[in-house]
Structure 1
Amino acid sequence: MKKIFFLLLTTSFSIAQTQNQKVKVILLGTFHYGATSDKNSIKFDDLFSEKRQNELDSLAKRLKKIGVDKFFVEDQTSNQKEIESQLKLYKSKKITDEKILKDEIVQIAYRTASINNAKIVAVDFKQELPYDKINEYEKIHDKEVNPYSFFDAENPFTAKRKKLVDTPLMEYYIQMNNSYTRQALLYDYLHYALAYGTTEDYTGENFTASYYDRNLKIFTNILRNIDLKTDKTIVVLFGASHTSFLRQFFENHPYFEIVELETIFN
């Protein structure tokens, strides 16, 4: 393994220079439609309305047009067979359970795969963040003043954003994945969390590192399922906080090229 690793280090630049074909990556950071109790769920009361279903049909057609080969979705790798079985049922219009249908994987990935035969791959890795350490630190230091004034800086993300109920779905997704929203999501991890700890105590850094670790495992699962010979365009359909981190990995990898949502959905 060491020999392989060092060989990769010494040849990575020459490989990158000769690799002309990059895999196009569409980072479709999403909210959860309500099938889960995730804190990033958003009330989507009109999901099954004619208007929203037409919007989802249009979204799927845009993804088909760009030629999506694979969807990488926020489901554990152990559920891959279940996804494949469920997709067959969806294509046959045999899924009637509203709880199943009320899932962004079904509404976007299954819908698109039913018209272009894209493959859907589960790549999530469940890993709990150490909230207990954060809560413990808060209790101990509740009445103390943070010795590092930098963390008292005002939150710069105060702009009002359009609400889902008032916004066309594709426009909402563009807003949800723009640089402003992305930085706002990262701010929790790269600013607020890092305020927890002093001197040799890195409680907050450990919290953020744990989330980096989970997303790096997700990224690893994606790489394990990429075929450079056949995969031209992929969609990563995950909660927007995940795609904000994953973007950093894709941007700095020589075999990928990010496609901005506004170039597809506008």
Structure 2
Amino acid sequence: MKNTFKVLTLIAAFTISQFKLFAQKQEVLLIGTFHYNNPNFDVIKTDAFNVLGEKSQKELEFIAEKIKKFNPDKIFTEWNFNKQEKLDSLYRLYVDGSYQDFINKKYKSTEQFAFYNENEIFQLAFRAAKKSKLASVYGIDHFVDLPFDTVMNSIQSAKQSDLMTEINDFIKKTAEEANIKRKTMSLTQLTLDLNTPEARNKNAGFYLRALNKAGSKESFAGAYSVSEWYRRNLYMYSLVQKITESKDKKIVILLGSGHISMIKEFIALEDKFKIVELKDIIK
């Protein structure tokens, strides 16, 4: 009887431990950034920020060290997923210490140089991945065309003058606020500011609040544009789901802040990951 009790106790303990292991959520560190190289491809145009300055470089080292201490198994970035081999090649150069020489020779006199020299993929994701001794950095971007001009034309055709004013005011005010912050905040402060609930809700909410209702009752140009934005982010999150393995305890998703606004919603709905914010690791 005693032996039977011992066996049952061991089985129960094993079952509980296995359940706890299964129930433990993988952690995901969400980091939304502005584009350091400032290509101004977005509708909202902003001033440049000197990410190469001594102060910003020290801050990037600090943030990368904090990401290292988070101990990620994978880092995901805003790079075309179809060009992973090129990203792997660039990352190997970075790890070997020859990345800067390579881009100086290949891109110095081209329009692409600012991207390879300043973008957050290379300035922060690569830096953090190297410190964390990761073998790869994963690109998950899936570009889609967002027909903003078509949306604005549909608003004009539908004579939605109030909506046109609302959108133009939002674009102007958001650009002005961003430019003031870039002149008065440090890189760390800017990044933390972009990752507040208020900033994320403002970004994600604009698509539904304004763009989704663009056009006449017979035109769904606005809703189509919003659905394309959702599609891009859903595809990106799909790649995170596919690439993340069960053995991965912690991952980092480092993307433009607008993407992180959407992806956080997907994570909350899936209820698989435990979300960690940048403010939680740089206390």
Task: Kindly indicate whether the alpha-carbon contact (under 8 Å) linking 2:194 and 2:200 is maintained by their aligned counterparts in 1.
Answer: yes
TM-score relative to the length of structure 2:
0.77
Partner of 1:206: 224
Task: Kindly indicate whether the alpha-carbon contact (under 8 Å) linking 2:203 and 2:258 is maintained by their aligned counterparts in 1.
Answer: yes
Partner of 2:54: 50
Task: Kindly indicate whether the alpha-carbon contact (under 8 Å) linking 1:27 and 1:235 is maintained by their aligned counterparts in 2.
Answer: yes
Aligned pairs for 1:1-266 (under 5 A) are 19-34=22-37, 36-39=39-42, 43-96=47-100, 97=104, 99=114, 100-118=116-134, 119-142=136-159, 163-229=181-247, 231-266=248-283
How far apart in 1 are the matches of 2:62 and 2:269? 31
Distance 1:83 1:160, change over 3 A: closer
Task: Kindly indicate whether the alpha-carbon contact (under 8 Å) linking 1:32 and 1:38 is maintained by their aligned counterparts in 2.
Answer: no
How far apart in 2 are the matches of 1:164 and 1:116? 29
Distance 1:61 1:19, change over 3 A: same
Distance 1:46 1:134, change over 3 A: closer
Greater helix content: 2
Aligned-CA RMSD value? 2.8
Task: Kindly indicate whether the alpha-carbon contact (under 8 Å) linking 1:89 and 1:95 is maintained by their aligned counterparts in 2.
Answer: yes
The aligned amino acid for 2:126 is Y
Task: Kindly indicate whether the alpha-carbon contact (under 8 Å) linking 2:157 and 2:215 is maintained by their aligned counterparts in 1.
Answer: no
- Quote the sequence identity (%): 27
How far off its partner does 1:187 sit? 2.5
How far off its partner does 1:77 sit? 1.1
Shifted more, 90-99 versus 70-79: the winner is 90-99
Return the index of the structure with the highest Cα Rg. 2
Distance 1:203 1:26, change over 3 A: same
Task: Kindly indicate whether the alpha-carbon contact (under 8 Å) linking 1:31 and 1:41 is maintained by their aligned counterparts in 2.
Answer: no
Distance 1:145 1:122, change over 3 A: closer
CA deviations over 1:185-236 (Å, ceiling 9, x no partner): 113201110231343433221211111111111111111101012x111111
How far apart in 2 are the matches of 1:257 and 1:48? 33
How far apart in 1 are the matches of 2:48 and 2:92? 26
How far off its partner does 1:145 sit? 5.7
CA deviations over 1:131-185 (Å, ceiling 9, x no partner): 243133134224x566x9xx89x97x98967613322322221111101111111
Task: Kindly indicate whether the alpha-carbon contact (under 8 Å) linking 1:124 and 1:218 is maintained by their aligned counterparts in 2.
Answer: yes
Moved over 6 A (4+): none
The aligned amino acid for 2:144 is Q
How far apart in 1 are the matches of 2:208 and 2:20? 32
Shifted more, 126-135 versus 253-262: the winner is 126-135
TM-score relative to the length of structure 1:
0.81
CA deviations over 1:112-133 (Å, ceiling 9, x no partner): 1111123311111010012243
How far apart in 2 are the matches of 1:35 and 1:93? 25
Aligned length: 244
